[in-house]
């Protein structure tokens, strides 16, 4: 509680919260524990609740710090941030429109290859399980689209992106994972590690190529301006080597036995992305204290957990098995399903934790920069 006499708005807020709590109690009092256990919480609901909790925590932290104008400042800062992120919002809208058109058209591998007669019944069963996305592979395609929007935003913001957690070691690791992922697509036959469904095929390949190009540019900026800790490079190299050994011992069996290196590449790219999440959290802790909540940094902290939730949901649901359960027919060595599912869940948790630290440790902007440039600045 803050000292002093509460204002009328405080009484109204408290009354509203108590009313909501009472309503929630009345609604849940007649529900038996057995009924609750039979209705697991939806993944999207969990994300919303976590986001609301982080937002309330950040606002309460600032209010207790003694900022009398926290509410108006937060509202104005949010409006200014939306204005500065207008190109990113337009890009997200374009991606959503593209995905919606492709999904409405249906088809297999972006209409690049027809469905074989013997596979039609299997394909119809998959479509029934995924009535909107058509197939679980669409989750990975959506992840690639969101990744391109984020990386294009990083290239647009320039210096602000260089000072954000999405730079340095995290960018270098993401670039390595993207190169491995693109190499996997190029080395794999058409029926292995290529995405099925309306969002697969050549369209997905283009997004992966674009990601590699943008990450190469960001990595060049990182190396040119020395945006990394030299002492961390040996640790990163050792971590990547350990990830490679772990991938060789825990791999899927989607490719032929003669091409099991493709399965190793798939596991390795996922583990390196987990290492990038660790580096992102470390940079958030290192540069969040006392810094301004920049538009790009806030955008990255918001988009990354959403982006990485898609492969996690894919790994948990695409195989027809329970979470953390191995599908023996698809296991090449070790326990790859457990490894990849846990690595994905750790990534999402790390990004959520980084977002909470970003909100709680950062300093809100004091002025609205409505005339901030919306497009890339060219330095001469």
Q: Which residues pair with 333 in a beta bridge?
A: 251
User: Do 237 and 272 form a contact (C-beta atoms < 8 A)?
Assistant: no
pLDDT digits 0-9 by tens, 273-291: 999 999 999 999 887 665 5
Q: How confident is the model at residue 81 (pLDDT cuts 50, 70, 90)?
A: confident
Task: Give the pLDDT of residue 64.
Answer: 54
Rg (CA), the chain: 23
CA angle 209, 212, 217 (to 5 degrees): 130
> Backbone phi, then psi, for 251, in 5-degree steps?
-135, 155
Quote the pLDDT of residue 287.
77
Least confident of 33-37, 252-256, 272-276: 33-37
Q: What is the pLDDT of residue 380?
A: 34
Residue 310 vs residues 210, 357, 358: alpha-carbon distances, Å: 19, 23, 22
Measure the CA dihedral 216/218/219/225, to 10°.
Answer: 140
Question: What is the rounded distance in angstroms from the CA atom of residue 204 to the CA atom of residue 75?
Answer: 38
Residues in the chain: 380
Tell me the pLDDT of the chain averaged across its residues: 80
pLDDT score of 242 more than 90: yes
Beta bridge pairs of residue 331: 252
Confidence at 3, pLDDT banded by 50, 70, 90: very low
Over the stretch 97-118, which tens digit does the pLDDT of each residue have?
999 999 998 876 655 556 666 6
Mean pLDDT score, 65-72: 50
Higher-confidence residue of 320 and 269: namely 269
Q: What tokens appear for 95 in the block? A: 């991606």
- Cα dist from 117 to 60, 114, 236, 319, 335, whole Å: 60, 9, 48, 22, 34
- How many Å is the maximal CA-CA distance in the chain? 76
Q: Pick 190 or 241 by higher pLDDT.
A: 241
Q: What is the pLDDT of residue 49?
A: 63
DSSP 194-218: SPPSTT-THHHHHHHHHHHHHHHHH
């Amino acid at each position: 509680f803050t000292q002093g006499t509460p204002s009328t708005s405080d009484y109204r807020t408290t009354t509203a919260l108590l009313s909501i709590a009472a309503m929630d109690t009345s609604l849940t009092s007649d529900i038996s524990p057995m009924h609750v256990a039979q209705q697991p919480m939806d993944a999207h609901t969990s994300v919303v609740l976590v986001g609301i909790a982080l937002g309330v925590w950040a606002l309460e932290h600032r209010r207790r710090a003694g900022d009398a104008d926290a509410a108006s400042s937060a509202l104005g800062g949010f409006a200014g941030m939306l204005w500065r992120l207008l190109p990113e919002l337009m890009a997200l809208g374009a991606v959503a429109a593209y995905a919606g058109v492709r999904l409405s058209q249906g088809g297999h591998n972006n209409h690049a290859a027809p469905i074989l007669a013997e596979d039609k019944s299997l394909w119809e069963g998959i479509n029934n399980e995924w009535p909107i996305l058509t197939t679980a592979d669409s989750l990975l395609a959506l992840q690639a689209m969101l990744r391109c929007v984020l990386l294009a935003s990083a290239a647009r913001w320039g210096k602000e992106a260089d000072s954000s957690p999405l730079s340095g070691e995290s960018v270098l690791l993401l670039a390595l994972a993207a190169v491995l992922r693109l190499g996997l697509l190029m080395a794999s036959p058409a029926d292995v590690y290529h995405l099925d469904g309306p969002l697969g095929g050549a369209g997905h390949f283009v997004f992966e190529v674009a990601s590699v190009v943008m990450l190469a540019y960001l990595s060049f900026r990182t190396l040119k301006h020395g945006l990394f800790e030299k002492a961390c490079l040996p640790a990163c190299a050792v971590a990547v080597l350990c990830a490679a050994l772990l991938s060789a011992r825990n791999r899927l069996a989607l490719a032929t036995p003669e091409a099991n290196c493709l399965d190793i590449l798939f596991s390795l790219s996922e583990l390196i992305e987990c290492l990038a999440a660790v580096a992102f959290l470390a940079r958030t802790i290192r540069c969040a204290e006392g810094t301004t909540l920049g538009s790009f940094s806030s955008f990255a902290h918001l988009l990354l957990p959403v982006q990485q939730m898609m492969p996690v949901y894919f790994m948990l649901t695409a195989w027809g098995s329970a979470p953390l359960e191995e599908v023996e027919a698809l296991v090449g060595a070790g326990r790859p399903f457990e490894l990849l599912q846990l690595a994905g869940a750790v990534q999402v948790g790390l990004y959520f934790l980084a977002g909470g630290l970003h909100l709680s440790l950062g300093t809100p902007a004091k002025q609205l920069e409505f005339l901030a440039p919306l497009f890339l600045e060219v330095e001469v």
